[in-house]
Amino acid sequence: MDPPPPPSAESTTSTTTTTGTSVTLPRLAVLTPSKSHAFQPPSKRIHTAADLSHFLSSLAYRDIGLFLLQLNRALCPRKPDPQQQQQQTQADTPSSNPHRLPPPQARARQFPLDAPRSDPPAVVSLRNLLSKLEAFIDEAPPEQGPRRFGNPAFRKWHALLEERVDGLLKEHIPAEVFEAWGGEELVISEVRPYFVGGFGSKERLDYGTGHELSFFAFLGCLWKLGAFGDGSDKGDGEVERSLVLGVFEPYLKVIRRLILTYTLEPAGSHGVWGLDDHSFLPYIFGSAQLTRPISGNEPMPLEGSVPGAPKPADILKPDTVARLRTANMYFSAIGFINDVKTGPFWEHSPVLFDVSGIRDGWGKINKGMIKMFNAEVLSKFPVVQHFPFGSLFSWDRDPGAATSAAGLATAAQTAGSGVAAGSAGTAAPWAQATQMPGAVPGVPPGPGIPYSRVPWANNAPTPRGGGGTGLPGAGSVPVPRGGVPNTGPPPPTAFPRGQPGTASNQFAVTKAPWAKD
Question: Which tens digits make up the pLDDT trace of 109-143?
Answer: 999 999 998 999 999 999 999 999 999 999 999 99
Question: What mean pLDDT, rounded, does the chain reach?
Answer: 76
pLDDT of residue 283: 97
Contact 447, 374 (CB under 8 A): yes
In a domain, 24, yes or no: yes
In a domain, 200, yes or no: yes
Per-residue pLDDT tens digits for 476-506: 333 333 333 333 344 334 333 344 433 333 3
Structural domain boundaries, residue 160:
1-79+107-452
pLDDT of residue 211: 97
**pTM of this structure:** 0.77
pLDDT (mean) for 321-342: 96
In a domain, 499, yes or no: no
Asked whether residue 444 carries a pLDDT value surpassing 90, the answer given is no
Q: Apex CA 232: angle with CA 227 and CA 237, to 5°?
A: 85
pLDDT of residue 503: 34
Reported confidence tier of residue 35, pLDDT bands at 50, 70, 90: confident
In a domain, 485, yes or no: no
Identify how many contiguous H helices and E strands the chain contains and give both numbers. Answer: 18, 6
Alpha-carbon distance 357 to 447, whole Å?
A: 17
Alpha-carbon distance 426 to 411, whole Å?
A: 5
In a domain, 88, yes or no: no
Alpha-carbon distance 159 to 40, whole Å?
A: 24
For residue 402, give every residue at least 6 positions away whose Cβ sits within 8 Å of its Cβ, in sequence order, or none.
2, 57, 408, 410, 411, 425, 426, 427
Domains: count for the chain:
1
Q: How far is CA 313 from the centre of its chain?
A: 21
pLDDT (mean) for 506-510: 32
pLDDT (mean) for 55-68: 96
Which residue type does 417 have? S
Contact 13, 28 (CB under 8 A): no
pLDDT of residue 94: 53
Alpha-carbon distance 378 to 281, whole Å?
A: 12
Q: Which has more confidence, 275 or 61?
A: 61
Contact 349, 272 (CB under 8 A): yes
Q: Which has more confidence, 101 or 219?
A: 219
In a domain, 273, yes or no: yes
Reported confidence tier of residue 400, pLDDT bands at 50, 70, 90: confident
pLDDT of residue 181: 95
Asked whether residue 31 carries a pLDDT value surpassing 60, the answer given is yes
Alpha-carbon distance 493 to 31, whole Å?
A: 48
Reported confidence tier of residue 460, pLDDT bands at 50, 70, 90: very low
pLDDT of residue 83: 61
In a domain, 287, yes or no: yes
In a domain, 102, yes or no: no
Q: Which has more confidence, 40 or 467?
A: 40
Per-residue pLDDT tens digits for 84-93: 555 544 545 5
Asked whether residue 421 carries a pLDDT value surpassing 70, the answer given is no
**Which range scores top for mean pLDDT: 13-27, 180-194, 435-449?**
180-194
pLDDT (mean) for 253-262: 97
Asked whether residue 305 carries a pLDDT value surpassing 80, the answer given is yes
